[in-house]
Structure 1
Amino acid sequence: MSTETDLVENYKRAYGNRIGFGRRPALIFIDFVEGYFNEACELYADVDDALASALRIREVARQKGVPVIYTNVVYQAGGKDGGRFFQKALPLRNFIQGNPMGDWPKGLEVGEGELVISKQYPSAFFGTSLASTLASWGVDTLIHTGVTTSGCVRATCIDSCSHGFIPIIPREAVGDRHEAPHEANLFDMDAKYGDVVSESDVIDYLNTLEQE
């Protein structure tokens, strides 16, 4: 059986490449909603640290005029627009329109003029205008923050790559309900789809940009 060291070395042989940052980034907050912060909800994931990291990144992004986008998940009554995803993932009932578990958590407020995209499926791109909007803004890099690493963050990362944007994932600014899927999906995204970097790497990059 291979050791963790063997695995890392094996992947480096095939997947050790880095894309690097582009020239025009946008920052996305993926599904940072109350259900993941409320211990009474089955979605609770103990991700306060991830939100705090994302907010620190947002502070610099705003200073530099980098677009900030937020996603939430919203369903019609009974989940009639949720398809197989709603049928499979029972906790999604918390996101039926009007349920407070779908609200923004304490400490997260959408700024004036910042874009909110409501979705019904894991990826922020699927069935939404996100790709067209980013293209119209001339964006080439999408900085991913949010929850969960193994779910909507990963799905958005893959679609970001597929649509031609550079996926950047600051590891401190994404979270999951358990360390195992969190780390496994960071490993896989970094190997195949985008660059997993540190919060400080993202902030250093943003500080190199001229203010728009």
Structure 2
Amino acid sequence: MTENLDDNYKIAYDNKAGFGKSPALVMVDFAQGYFDPDCVLYAGVDDALASALRIREIAHQVGIPVILTEVTYQKGGLNGGRFFEKAKPLACFVKGERTAEFADGLVPREDEIIVSKQYPSAFFGTSLASTLTAMGIDNVVLTGLTTSGCVRASCVDSMSHGFITSVVADACGDRHPAPHEANLFDMNAKYADVVSEAEIIAFFRSLDAGKSDA
């Protein structure tokens, strides 16, 4: 054991998964509530959204599939089960609430897939894994909110479903830096490669260049 955190983890966890050959961009729960100062979910994560939108634009330019996820509940939250009972702010995601809508600046496109979910992971109780497999995807690139919640849950499930998983640190956000950084650290150690916006854009562009050379 060593007292330095990075050195401690390198003893057991010091491996890179790398990128795949056929990635998809998944944008997790960029909902209006996280950007509304009057909402209990407000997290001040404008920079994360801006980063995700830049990555999304490059993804479309080079033909990489884009998936948006949304949390949605019927009135009363019956379809949210124990999660809705425990996490009271989930009432902000009841269908029809302004806070449940996609954040300003994120208007779904016709060629984007929208996955509706009731639980933290984008994969739990949804068709996402089957859809990505049918599309020949081998690499899930995650952006979204919040890092410690739905991004982390989606990361673990993505890896568990057999996808190489990349988490873009710049394009994820949380209501406080501590859980954000701690969860990025842990995901990078065990489940995914945590990368920067610049790295993922360079990767996307390299795939486009490869198609041009073929």
Question: Which residue among 63, 82, 106 is the counterpart of 1:84?
Answer: 82
Q: Distance in 1 between matches of 2:182 and 2:206?
A: 31
Q: Distance in 2 between matches of 1:44 and 1:2?
A: 38
Q: Identity of paired residues, percent?
A: 60
Q: Distance in 1 between matches of 2:141 and 2:103?
A: 21
Residue 98 of structure 2 is matched in structure 1 by 100
Q: Give CA deviations for 1:123-179 in whole Å, capped at 9, x if unaligned.
A: 000000000000000000011000000000000000000000011011100000000
Unpaired runs of at least 5, structure 2 = none
Q: Distance in 2 between matches of 1:204 and 1:19?
A: 17
Question: Which residue among 41, 44, 56 is the counterpart of 1:43?
Answer: 41
Residue 118 of structure 2 is matched in structure 1 by 120
Instruction: Give the aligned residue type for 1:69.
Output: I
Instruction: Give the aligned residue type for 2:151.
Output: V
SS in 2 for 1:208: helix
Instruction: Give the aligned residue type for 2:179.
Output: P
Residue 65 of structure 1 is matched in structure 2 by 63
Instruction: Give the aligned residue type for 1:147.
Output: L
Residue 32 of structure 2 is matched in structure 1 by 34
CA contact (8 A) 2:25 2:56 kept: yes
Q: Distance in 1 between matches of 2:194 and 2:111?
A: 28
Unpaired runs of at least 5, structure 1 = none
SS in 2 for 1:171: strand
Aligned pair 1:198/2:196, yes or no?
yes
1:206 CA displacement: 0.3
1:193 CA displacement: 0.1
1:2 CA displacement: 6.4
Per the normalisation by structure 1, the TM-score is 0.97
1:196 CA displacement: 0.2
Q: Give CA deviations for 1:70-94 in whole Å, capped at 9, x if unaligned.
A: 0010001100100100000000001
Q: Distance in 2 between matches of 1:35 and 1:171?
A: 21
Runs of 4+ aligned residues of structure 1 deviating over 3 Å after TM superposition are: none
Instruction: Give the aligned residue type for 2:141.
Output: I
Residue 145 of structure 1 is matched in structure 2 by 143
Residue 180 of structure 2 is matched in structure 1 by 182
Per the normalisation by structure 2, the TM-score is 0.96
